Amino acid sequence: MRRTSPLRHKSTLCLERRVLILGFLLSALLLWQPLRSAAQSDSLPYAQIGQYAVGVQRLRIEGDPSRVLTGFLWYPAQADERLAYADYGYGKRSALARFEAPPERSGAPYPLIIFSHGYGSHAAQSVFLTEQLASHGFIVLAVNHNGSTRGDTDAQTSLTLGWYWRPRDVLSQIAWAEAVNADPQSAFYGLFDFARIGVSGHSYGGYTALAAAGAQLDFKALSAYCAQASRLDLACLARDAEPFLSQVLVRDAKRGTWRVPHDERVAAVLALAPFNAPIMGAQGLAAVNVPTFVMVGTADSVTPPERDAYPIYEQVGAAHKALLSLEGAEHMIFSDCIPLLATLPHCNDAVWEAARAQAIIKHFAMAFFSATLKGDSTARQVLNTPAVFEGLRYQSTFR
């Protein structure tokens, strides 16, 4: 059987499913303009740019010689219009973050957020969100996960080793931040607050975020799911990982699951169209006991919400959790599209205007991290709002 990645689109689907999705997208196009116009009047205060200027620097982490990580660091910065705006490559330029701007120390220490990209993507895949977080007083780190980054992808290897290495990459970023935070010679000396750590991620990065917060792997649950699933179901590629993972992970005898490397200080998880609930199962997801926010598009054909996002929301052990569904949205709604790829289908959602969807995502993401990592009571009220906006479905246990 040909191996395919979680971020490949409809080419892996059977003919019948292609026809169903095509029919849905054609009908959704008829609803596009009403949805866009009706939503324009909605109030999204947390989608506004925050009080801080934003700086960005390139990141290189050499903690493990066998796995050197590169990426970006976004942070509250001193305003300096002489500095150039960030260039992320592939024709993607920022209109907010300035390259190597000096950090703003007045609001330190700042909560730390790690962002994990999806399979075949890259550290700067969602700068609309990472820059926004920095403008509101968060420091954000994101690295390219070796083996599952654009130009460096191997589906079979990534879907075997990645279940282990991706959460390890999160720990490496936290360790790097601890080192520069303790170094008086570093520009980031004393800027991080490690009592307030959040993790976010998209697709395979959504799994990464959950794992970094304690989610465990359950291969019995995965096997039971795959016994009934389509042979083309991407989640079932992970079955090949068990021989490797059983050698590097520790068994949780009580749950019958495998413990993934994680950090007990992670205090909040934002999972965007997360991938592969079956590999974690109910027992593995129950190990996540920190506030969790899941977002997904209801038309996601890569990580179908019925398989992934919805069970994750129901089964995580967190007392406080929320689920936001964007009606008719596809998988890449949570990612920026670089100009060089702007004409490709996945860069143009059939139902949602990108700017509007990103404003909604920023609003709820910012409210979530502000409430959980900063104790913002107004933000918590946003999470407790039973009626939100047209085109959205929302449920929450926040009170």
Q: Is 203 helix (H, G, I), strand (E, B) or coil?
A: coil
Q: Looking at residue 52, what is its pLDDT?
A: 98
CB-side neighbour CA atoms (13 Å) of 30: 4
Residues 124-144: tens digit of each pLDDT: 999 999 999 999 999 999 999
d(CA 270, CA 327): 19
CB 186 within 8 A of CB 101: no
CB 191 within 8 A of CB 110: yes
Section 328-336 average pLDDT: 93
Phi, psi values for residue 216, rounded to 5°:
-115, 165
* Cα angle: 201, vertex 98, 146; to 5 degrees: 35
Residues 91-129: tens digit of each pLDDT: 678 889 999 999 999 999 999 999 999 998 899 999 999
d(CA 275, CA 330): 14
pLDDT band at residue 153 under the 50/70/90 scheme: low
d(CA 369, CA 111): 9
Percentage of the chain beyond pLDDT 70 is 84
> Residue 31 pLDDT more than 50?
no
* Cα angle: 59, vertex 65, 67; to 5 degrees: 65
Residue 390's identity, in one-letter code, is: E
56 strand-pairing partners: 74, 99
Section 12-35 average pLDDT: 37
pLDDT band at residue 389 under the 50/70/90 scheme: confident
Phi, psi values for residue 324, rounded to 5°:
-115, 120
pTM value? 0.88
Residues 55-72: tens digit of each pLDDT: 999 999 998 888 999 999
Name the strand (E) or helix (H) holding 211.
Answer: helix 204-212
CB-side neighbour CA atoms (13 Å) of 239: 16
Q: Which residues contact 363 (CB under 8 A, 6 or more apart)?
A: 44, 45, 46, 47, 382
Q: What is the full DSSP assignment across 120-145? A: TB-TTTTHHHHHHHHHTT-EEEEE--
Residue 363's identity, in one-letter code, is: H
d(CA 208, CA 257): 17
Q: What residue ranges do the domains of the chain occupy?
A: 12-396
pLDDT band at residue 203 under the 50/70/90 scheme: very high
Helices (H), ranges, 259-383: 281-286, 309-315, 354-374, 377-383
> Residue 46 pLDDT more than 90?
yes
CATH architecture designation of domain 12-396: 3-Layer(aba) Sandwich (3.40)
How many residues are given for the chain? 399
- Strands 92-99, 53-61: pairing is parallel
